[in-house]
Amino acid sequence: MTAVLSTRPGSRIVLGQFETATADEAVVELYRAHYAGLVRLSAMLLGDVGTAEEVVQDAFVAVHGSWQRLRDPEKALAYLRQAIVNRSRSTLRHRAVVAKYPPAPPPDVPSAEHFAVAGTQRTEIMAAIGRLPRRQRETVLLRYYSDMSEAQIADTLGISQGAVKSHASRGLAALRTLLETST
Amino acid sequence: MSDRMGPFDPDNADDEVARRLRELLSSQGQAITPSADALTTIRQKIRAQDRGNRRYAWRRVLQVGAAGLGTVAVAAIAVIVGVAVRHHAPAADHHAVAVASPTVTSTPTATPTPAPMVEPVAPVSSAPSTYAVSVYYVDKRKDPEQLLFREQTVAPTSPQHTFVKDAVTAMLSTPAHDPDYTSYWPAGTTVNAVNITGETTAVVDLSAQAANGPAGKGAISAEQLLYTIIASAPKIDGLQLRINGTPVTSLWGSPLAATVAPQPPWQVLGHVWITSPQQDETVASSVTISGEASVFEATVSYQILRNGGVLKHGSTNATIGAPDRGTWSVTVSGLAPGPYTVRAYEVSAKDGSITHVDDKAFTVN
């Protein structure tokens, strides 16, 4: 892949294989590398793919606006994750207030053919994740879906690594019986 | 991601459960198909926001200049650099305010040579004696340590109207109003020159006194300087520091980049600021307390204290939560005349403790 890179002063950054990039170019690269994964994460947090796309798109717009301060793709990714978790959370809270929805709706459950695990069990597990207390649900998804370290999760959620451990282990404990019987 | 969870450990029963969960979530994720043309949507949103920001830019600059100066009339407004500065007569208050020049750029007649140019000079038709400048200071308390706070002060209007130099001079020569803040720049440091190069980099040459500051405070003091410059000239995004004409590669023992970049606000700015009332300000019995915050879930807590006791307390929401930085305000009325303190803070998501406190003493008349 080749890219013509702007050399405008003030917008240069180190970006993966590329030497420098502007905010526009950074957004494109971040989009290619992370958009789908972030939408999936947000969709699992929200239980709704359409809203998840909006949340993630708005986070990308925010990264573009903050690029002069961020410059570093690692920082930008951390910023994106934090913004997406916070915005997903605000969306859930807003929904809970406006529509009196339960604050933690079960995530979308695509059809069972996709899965190795039996469809009913998967549905149950995803529903159980949806019913976890908010921090446990976030921690479980960031750890076991996004494969983030405890330190990264602590940073993203604004909590200590000890709290991450405890949320993850409680979350996992709540799902254990369902997971142990899954095939 | 370099620091992932440890490898699968068959002796640990949790790992089998965790492995199944990973597998399940992964295939669950694969089944979600994001739209293919989202990049187009993101670009449209960015363009729409850019347009909004351009409309908003002047207002924001004026607000920065005026914030916190509740008793001071904003008497004069300017300016496109290199075109014009208009000052109205100052208000009766002796703090006349001329909020000025955010845009530091080449003058229209500048030649395209890359040579550094002197900070643009705006012609002044009639000058008030002082105008408001925003200055950053370093928190000197333990918590939060070495974060920046912004105050308003007034600078004498220089004949050349050199906004960046005025702001840096004010930062070096004016002690913070709030006793919790300080500047580690050595007393007696003055500005030899400020140049703007490449439109976005400020080259600041300070006098020899600048060379000897307290160890460990160099990095944050360079950020203090850069944020102060950006408050006067938002287009600036880099600082080249010189002392007596010589470029410096370290400041008080801290290494310094040839061009210092502004660190992200959430890393260097105090998480909770009270911008109004200012320290020791006198206000009416109904006072609006306002500030900025970058706090978890946008929740800012506050207390009004009198004689060491908490008179009122509550919480409010900033316009946006961390990592973004929002604004917040709360109006408290019915305060009897006398001295008060307002504290604003974040309640730690880790352990519920009070953290990132900012406080201001004020008097109700």
Convert the pLDDT of each residue in B90-104 to its tens digit. 333 333 333 333 333
Six-digit token pair at B32?
A: 């979600």
pTM: 0.49
ipTM above 0.95?
no
Residues of A within 8 A of B22 (CB-CB) are: 144-145, 147
* CB nearest to A158's CB, from B25, B27, B296: B296
Given a cut of 70, whether residue B237 has pLDDT beyond it is yes
How far is B184 from B4, CA to CA, in rounded Å?
Answer: 40
Chain B, 250 to 289: residues with Cβ < 8 Å from chain A are 261-265
How far is A46 from B79, CA to CA, in rounded Å?
Answer: 47
Close Cβ partners of B81 (under 8 Å, ≥ 6 residues apart): B101, B103, B104, B105, B107, B120, B122
How far is B264 from B100, CA to CA, in rounded Å?
Answer: 25
Task: Indicate yes or no: CB of B35 within 8 angstroms of CB of A53.
Answer: yes
How far is B189 from B245, CA to CA, in rounded Å?
Answer: 14
Look over chain B and give the mean of its residue pLDDT values, rounded to a whole number. Answer: 77
Close Cβ partners of A63 (under 8 Å, ≥ 6 residues apart): A26, A27, A30, A70, A76, A79, A80, A83
**Within 10 Å of residue A70's Cβ, how many Cβ atoms?**
21
Cβ(B365)–Cβ(B282) below 8 Å: yes
Task: Indicate yes or no: CB of A65 within 8 angstroms of CB of B53.
Answer: yes
Residue B127 C-alpha, separation from nearest chain A C-alpha, in angstroms: 33
pLDDT for position B208: 94
Six-digit token pair at B177?
A: 């109003």
Read off the pLDDT band of A72 (50, 70, 90).
confident
Convert the pLDDT of each residue in B66-79 to its tens digit. 443 433 333 333 33
Six-digit token pair at B180?
A: 């919790």
Q: Among B347, B194, B327, which residue's Cα sits nearest to residue B269? A: B327
Residues of B within 8 A of A96 (CB-CB) are: none
Locate the chain A residue with the closest alpha carbon to B30. Answer: A40
**Within 10 Å of residue B249's Cβ, how many Cβ atoms?**
10
